[in-house]
Amino acid sequence: MRKLTALIAGSTGYIGIELIKLLVKHKYIDIKYLCGNTSIGKKLTFYDKSLNLKKLPRIVKFNRKYLTNVDIIFTALPNGEAQKISKYLLKKNVLVDLAADFRLKKVSEYFKWYKKKHIAPKNIKKSIYALPEITGKKIKEFDIIGCPGCYPTSVLLPLIPIIKMNVIKKDNILIDSKSGYSGAGRGVHKKYKKKNLYESLSAYGVGFHRHNSEISQELNNFSKSDIKFVFTPHLSPMFRGILSTIYVDLKKGNSINDVLSILKKFYKKHIFVKIMKKNSLVSTNDVINSNMCKISACETKYKNKIVILSAIDNLIKGGAGQAIQNMNIRFNFKQTEGLK
């Protein structure tokens, strides 16, 4: 099988670096271009010394003419930038976006949550929201792949199967998510310069974080009635990882064992999702530097209330790893290729 050529736009951010680290190990990918705006001419070793031994091109400014020489374009750019690039795509190109440009299916929702007009609305119809374990082979039918956000990944993987099977109440789901500060990108220290990132825990986006829209869209896709939830993200004093703690009420006649049984059956053939034993206390340390999502369900003092724990590495399963997993599905590679 011939190698596919790739362009990575936004190659020096935390996600971009992680993407490159994984792609250099991929059997069927040859990195042709690394693109950036403020790092033109630099080597990637300026940002990460561990890439010193890899034969990688210097960073260049994106030019649409490069699209004639590549099969895959990965965009790890600020919201809005992938929309611009999508207008230049050729028939041979597949775009894998790690930002939010092709996550929401309604232009009005994008404007509401991201406060900017979507400039490539026709391409939304040509794109797919690709959570690989949920979306599956449908990904093969699309040339624009919108990768989920890191928080939604940790939330949707445990919730979608049990909502689909109608075993929990849908009007009072509470989601408490804590992320390492790498989730805010390289500008995190400037953005939160008044906070001590290394010793404090901070809530932000309370009630109105952008990922509310994505979580709502996807949960409602699998429900016959509107899902009501409250999502609160936190910035925690660690570099990477997400732990989502989800509080749900069981419907009458259902138990925690039913929930675990549904999850185990749903993810039985999915190598990157592991359902733990009842009352397992999963942590971010269990999944760091992997494309794994570990999920557990825990009892509480109330028989009808349970707590679901979901842990991922935000830079891999919540970012670069999931993007590669989607690409692997799209091109009929093994899902584990480059991700073992």
Considering the candidates 35, 150, 293, 298, report the single residue annotated as catalytic: 150
Distance from C-alpha of 272 to C-alpha of 6, rounded to nearest angstrom = 24
Amino acid of residue 163: I
* Nearby residues of 91 by Cβ (< 8 Å), 6 or more positions away: none
Distance from C-alpha of 336 to C-alpha of 81, rounded to nearest angstrom = 29
Burial 242-274 (b: 16+ CB within 10 A, else e): bbbebbbbbeeebebebbbebbeebbeebebbb
Catalytic annotation present for 150: yes
Q: What are phi and psi of 235, to 5 degrees?
A: -100, 120
Burial 113-124 (b: 16+ CB within 10 A, else e): bbeeebebeebb
Q: Diameter of the chain by CA atoms?
A: 63
Distance from C-alpha of 120 to C-alpha of 334, rounded to nearest angstrom = 31
Sign of CA dihedral 55, 95, 270, 291: positive
Q: Are 317 and 287 in contact (CB under 8 A)?
A: yes
Tell me the pairing of strands 202-203 and 59-60.
unpaired
Q: Are 31 and 56 in contact (CB under 8 A)?
A: yes
Distance from C-alpha of 86 to C-alpha of 98, rounded to nearest angstrom = 13
* Catalytic annotation, residues: 150
